[in-house]
């Protein structure tokens, strides 16, 4: 499949994530949208990794081009997991205090 | 290299010290000792002494410049713990863990000062910001702190996503994650797609602007800085922000040629917008903490000058700016924490009740405003001089706008001095220890030293 399809798919997922972050008010859903953005990036990295491998394969049969793209994906997954643990802890902390996970609720509460 | 390894290890040491002792004074002293060790380990790198030799496969490029930035960041942290360590352990019941998180932040900072690969840029930024989310929300029962933590976390994770998209697009166009190699791809072996590269760089630029709170993406800053416990705001606004600038400059010193004219126009717009928003909004603030949050946006605008010019003066200047700004802000926040009332009226008559606090506070504010004989003056001077040296059609206008906004900033900084010296009132402070006064005097002395002889600091760099 041509690389463009992968780029379009990733950008579509990424845009859905961005719109979700900007529009939704539930902290958990905003959080899921951020994860969607990260996973769109993972998909794109894998597609590019394969593309670079295939290009390099034409000139060199034993090429290792493209491996670093796949390695990067592992790092993104690990960091995303660390972020989830901290982020959910923050959301739980907020829920304990105000019994809501609405992002705008705190703003209203202050005034 | 030493600094990265030691800061991570000492962070773990701090966590274990929390099991062994609950004495807050002891924990603070352990943190001071650990920071001194870290400083020594980093200075050893200057003299080519390495604890472990690792082949980093061009992931890092360590230079004296990076080591020197580490030295400044660690020294600033040391002074910060020295002056407000007592307040750090007072935030909640996990004193040792707060210090451990500060060490992990420093680990991220040291990665950012020497990275040579987009993977390390990403990891450095994440290692730096994830502990900060926790520190922001460390005052668990306080709704302001909760809101700040949530906002900071969502904004931080969002901008990380944008940065990753940029990195992925750059990877697509170049086939590797190096920050230097993109320009000289061997023609024919890899597909060169310039449009991907331009879009990728724009994504990374936007996300970095988020991290350093520059103008179109600054909106989270006042709420987060205001809501976070004041001690941690002080850390966020100084050391972490400077590390963001070092990362930004390292990346775009190599990459900006590829963007050409577009880059300069974009950067000039960002600088002017940052200065405008930061300074003008700071004028109307009644709370000193919120005013400092906006003024940190304004100072970010000045630091962006270094990104515009990218010459030797700018590289030295950003170090001087980092140290001047960090020292003054750490001192200002240390006094702010001691005040009972955080509004400007809360400072009324401070000169009568606490003359030393008022005097040092004035020196810090002079430095932030850039009055001569303080470090802040030469910091601003270096930034403006570097822009003049670079030239270009926008340079003169940039300098004029920079000077104008520096004049505006004098207004709101001096409102605090006016309140302290010329207004009647009884400024209430919590208990001031002799140690605290001594630490303030040390910071004030350093600010004046660098203001009279900026060469001492920069001379250290070339030893």
Domain ranges of chain A: 3-110
Cβ-defined contact of B177 to A82 (cutoff 8 Å): no
| Confidence at residue B430, expressed as pLDDT on a 0 to 100 scale | 85
pLDDT band at B190 (very low <50, low <70, confident <90, very high): very low
| Confidence at residue B181, expressed as pLDDT on a 0 to 100 scale | 53
pLDDT digit string (tens) for B151-168? 999 999 999 999 999 999
Contacts of A8 (CB under 8 A, 6+ apart): none
At which residue do the structure tokens 């996970």 appear?
A101
Burial label for B391, CB within 10 Å (0-12, 13-18, 19+), is: exposed
| Confidence at residue B137, expressed as pLDDT on a 0 to 100 scale | 92
pLDDT digit string (tens) for A24-82? 989 999 999 999 999 999 999 999 999 999 989 998 888 888 899 999 999 999 999 99
Nearest CA of chain B to the CA of A29: how many Å? 11
Q: Does the pLDDT of residue B185 top 50, yes or no?
A: no
State whether residue B349 is helix, strand or coil.
Answer: coil
Chain B residues closer than 8 Å to A72 by CB: 119, 167, 171, 177
The domain limits of chain B are 260-463
Residue of B nearest to A74 (CA): B119
User: ipTM of this predicted complex?
Assistant: 0.95
Nearest CA of chain A to the CA of B131: how many Å? 9
| Confidence at residue A106, expressed as pLDDT on a 0 to 100 scale | 66
User: Rounded to 5 degrees, what are φ and ψ at A73?
Assistant: -60, -40
| Confidence at residue B229, expressed as pLDDT on a 0 to 100 scale | 93
* pTM summary value: 0.93
Per DSSP, helices labelled H in B118-260 are 118-136, 143-174, 194-212, 220-227, 230-235, 241-255
pLDDT digit string (tens) for B269-312? 999 999 999 999 999 999 999 999 999 999 999 999 998 888 88
CATH of A3-110, one of 1.10.10.60, 1.10.287.3510, 3.40.50.150, 3.40.50.1980: 1.10.287.3510
Of B133, B140, B176, the CB nearest to A68: B176
Chain B residues closer than 8 Å to A87 by CB: 133, 153, 157
Any idea how long chain A is?
A: 111
Chain A residues closer than 8 Å to B168 by CB: 10, 41, 44-45, 48
pLDDT digit string (tens) for B98-142? 999 999 999 999 999 989 999 999 999 999 999 999 999 998 888
Cβ-defined contact of B168 to A41 (cutoff 8 Å): yes
Q: Does the pLDDT of residue B392 top 70, yes or no?
A: yes
Give the rounded percent of residues in chain B with a pLDDT score beyond 70.
95
The better pLDDT of the pair B45, B247 is held by B247
Residue of B nearest to A11 (CA): B165
Cβ-defined contact of B133 to A87 (cutoff 8 Å): yes
Mean pLDDT in residue range B212-240: 91
Q: Does the pLDDT of residue A108 top 80, yes or no?
A: no
Chain B residues closer than 8 Å to A5 by CB: none
CA angle A89, A92, A98 (to 5 degrees): 145
Residue of B nearest to A107 (CA): B147
How many angstroms separate the Cα of B77 from the Cα of each of B72, B106, B240, B334, B449? 9, 9, 10, 13, 19
Q: Please give the mean pLDDT across all residues of chain B.
A: 88
Nearest CA of chain A to the CA of B105: how many Å? 14
- Copy the structure tokens of residue B339: 């005040």
Cα–chain-centroid distance for residue B229?
17
Q: Is B414 on the interface with A (CB under 8 A)?
A: no
pLDDT digit string (tens) for B14-37? 999 988 888 888 999 999 999 999
Mean pLDDT in residue range B376-389: 91
Contacts of B285 (CB under 8 A, 6+ apart): B291, B294, B412
Nearest to B270 by CA among B244, B316, B312, B308: B308
Q: Is B119 on the interface with A (CB under 8 A)?
A: yes
pLDDT digit string (tens) for B427-452? 778 888 899 999 999 999 999 998 88
| Confidence at residue B189, expressed as pLDDT on a 0 to 100 scale | 39
Chain A residues closer than 8 Å to B162 by CB: 37
pLDDT band at B183 (very low <50, low <70, confident <90, very high): very low
- Copy the structure tokens of residue B388: 């003049």
């Amino acid at each position: 499949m041509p690389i463009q399809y992968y780029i379009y798919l990733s950008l579509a997922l990424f845009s859905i994530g961005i719109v979700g972050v900007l529009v939704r008010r539930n902290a958990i859903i905003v959080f899921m949208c951020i994860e969607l953005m990260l996973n769109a990036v993972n998909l794109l990295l894998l597609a590019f990794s394969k593309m670079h491998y295939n290009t390099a394969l034409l000139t060199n049969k034993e090429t290792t081009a493209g491996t670093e793209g796949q390695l990067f994906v592992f790092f993104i997954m690990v960091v995303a997991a660390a972020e989830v643990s901290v982020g959910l802890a923050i959301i739980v902390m907020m829920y304990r205090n105000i019994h809501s996970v609405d992002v705008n609720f705190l703003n209203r509460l202050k005034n | 290299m030493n600094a990265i390894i030691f800061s991570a290890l000492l962070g773990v040491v701090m966590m274990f010290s929390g099991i062994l002792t609950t004495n807050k004074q002891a924990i603070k002293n352990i943190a001071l000792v650990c920071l001194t060790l870290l400083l020594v380990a980093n200075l050893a790198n200057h003299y080519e002494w390495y604890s472990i030799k690792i082949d980093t496969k061009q992931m890092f490029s360590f230079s004296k410049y990076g080591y020197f930035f580490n030295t400044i960041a660690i020294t600033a942290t040391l002074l910060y713990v020295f002056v407000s360590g007592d307040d750090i352990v007072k935030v909640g019941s996990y004193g040792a863990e707060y210090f451990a998180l500060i060490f992990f932040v420093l680990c991220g900072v040291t990665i950012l000062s020497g990275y040579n690969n987009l993977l390390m840029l990403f990891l450095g930024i994440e290692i730096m910001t994830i502990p900060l989310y926790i520190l922001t929300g460390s005052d668990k029962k306080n709704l302001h702190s909760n809101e700040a933590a949530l906002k900071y976390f969502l904004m931080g994770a969002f901008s990380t996503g944008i940065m990753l998209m940029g990195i992925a697009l750059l990877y697509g166009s170049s086939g590797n994650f190096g920050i230097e190699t993109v320009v000289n791809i061997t023609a024919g072996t890899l597909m060169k797609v310039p449009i991907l590269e331009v879009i990728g760089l724009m994504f990374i630029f936007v996300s970095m602007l988020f991290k350093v709170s520059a103008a179109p993406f600054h909106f989270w800053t006042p709420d987060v800085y205001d809501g976070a416990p004041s001690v941690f705001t002080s850390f966020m606004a100084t050391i972490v922000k400077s590390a963001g600038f070092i990362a930004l400059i390292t990346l775009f010193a190599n990459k900006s040629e590829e963007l050409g004219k577009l880059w300069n126009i974009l950067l000039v717009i960002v600088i002017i917008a940052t200065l405008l928003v930061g300074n003008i909004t700071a004028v109307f603030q009644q709370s000193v903490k919120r005013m400092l949050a906006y003024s940190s946006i304004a100072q970010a605008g000045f630091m962006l000058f270094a990104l515009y010019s990218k010459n030797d003066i700018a590289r030295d200047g950003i170090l001087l700016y980092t140290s001047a700004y960090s020292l003054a802000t750490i001192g200002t926040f240390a006094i702010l924490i001691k005040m009972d009332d955080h509004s400007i009226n809360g400072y009324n008559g401070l000169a009568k009740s606490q003359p030393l606090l008022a005097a040092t506070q004035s020196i810090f504010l002079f430095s932030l405003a850039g009055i001569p004989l303080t470090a802040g003056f030469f910091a601003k001077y270096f930034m403006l001089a570097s822009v003049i040296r670079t030239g270009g059609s926008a340079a003169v206008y940039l300098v004029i706008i920079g000077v104008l906004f520096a004049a505006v900033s004098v207004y709101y900084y001096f409102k605090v001095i006016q309140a302290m010296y010329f207004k009647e009132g009884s400024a209430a402070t919590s208990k001031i220890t002799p140690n605290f006064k001594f630490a303030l005097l040390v910071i004030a002395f350093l600010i004046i030293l660098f203001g009279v002889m900026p060469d001492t600091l920069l001379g250290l760099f070339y030893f």
